């Protein structure tokens, strides 16, 4: 599992960039520990998360979501959440380049906290 520690500045409105690799037919997990600009854990208590994967397309073309990551807060008070996709779901993603983002929301406040590119790599062999 990839582990990332990110500093998120709520006043900047800019998502932190993290690129990912997904191997088709394998479980995918990526953990994020989020701190604020003073280095304290970002408290996700009372927050929800959502994340989608979309095909990376050229300018002027339509982008469409092809998969939705599961976003789980493994330590909400400690600023830790995890993105995951099971192997049955990664198996159906065609190889290629994609983009993703993670949004967190509480009440009427929503932040796009992480975004990046995703390279989906086909498996040469796979455990069933």
* Structural domains of the chain sorted by starting position, each given as residue range(s) with its CATH number in brackets: 2-121 (2.60.40.3350)
Closest to 36 measured CA to CA, from 71, 79, 77, 80: 79
User: Residue 101 pLDDT > 80, yes or no?
Assistant: yes
pLDDT at 43 over 90: yes
With 80 as the cut, is the pLDDT of residue 62 above it?
A: no
What value does the mean pLDDT take over residues 50-58? 83
Across the range 44-70, mean pLDDT stands at: 82
Confidence (pLDDT) at 55: 87
What's the whole-model pTM score?
0.86
> Could you tell me if residue 44 is left (phi over 0), alpha (psi between -120 and 50 degrees) or otherwise beta?
alpha
Task: Tell me the β-bridge partners of 55.
Answer: 98
Which of the residue ranges 13-22, 60-69, 89-98, 113-122 would you say has the lowest mean pLDDT? Answer: 60-69
How confident is the model at residue 126, as a pLDDT? 55
């Amino acid at each position: 599992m990839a582990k990332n520690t990110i500093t998120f500045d709520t006043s900047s409105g800019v998502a932190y960039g993290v690129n990912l690799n997904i191997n088709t037919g394998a479980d995918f997990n990526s953990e994020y520990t989020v701190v604020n600009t003073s280095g304290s854990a970002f408290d996700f208590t009372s927050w929800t998360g959502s994340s989608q994967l979309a095909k990376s397309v050229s300018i002027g073309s339509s982008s469409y979501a092809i998969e939705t990551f599961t976003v789980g807060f493994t330590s909400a008070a400690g600023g830790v959440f995890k993105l995951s996709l099971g192997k049955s779901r990664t198996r159906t993603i065609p190889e290629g380049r994609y983009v993703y983002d993670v949004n967190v929301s509480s009440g009427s406040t929503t932040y796009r906290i992480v975004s990046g590119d995703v390279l989906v790599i086909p498996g040469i062999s796979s455990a069933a």
